[in-house]
């Protein structure tokens, strides 16, 4: 199992400089464990920079 922190999810989601590196770990989502606090942190950041709808769409993926 792999835990990806909020910075990793944000890099991947926004296509940041390290998105490709994090993408290697996010290919098999069945092996990812994401604590609720990390989901909340990412949701809050996406909602603040984009829209509530975009943040909700991210959560649904």
For the chain (length 61 residues), average pLDDT per consecutive 10?
91 92 88 91 84 80 74
pLDDT for the residue 46 = 83
pLDDT for the residue 42 = 87
Count of domains observed in the chain: 1
pLDDT for the residue 11 = 92
Strands (E), 1-61: 2-3, 32-33
Q: What is the pTM of this model?
A: 0.78
* Beta-bridge mates of residue 2: 32
Q: From residue 49, how far is each of 14, 17, 29, 43, 55 by CA, in Å?
A: 11, 18, 25, 10, 9
Would residue 15 be called left, alpha or beta, if left means φ above 0 and alpha means ψ between -120 and 50 degrees?
A: left
pLDDT for the residue 48 = 83
What is the extent of the structural domain holding 40?
2-60
Contact indicator for 11, 46 with CB cutoff of 8 Å? no
């Amino acid at each position: 199992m792999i835990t990806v922190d909020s910075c990793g999810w944000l890099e991947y989601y926004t296509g940041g400089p390290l998105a490709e590196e994090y993408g290697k770990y996010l290919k098999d989502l069945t092996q990812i464990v994401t604590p609720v606090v990390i989901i909340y942190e990412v949701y809050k950041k996406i909602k603040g920079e984009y829209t509530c709808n975009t943040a909700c769409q991210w959560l649904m993926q």
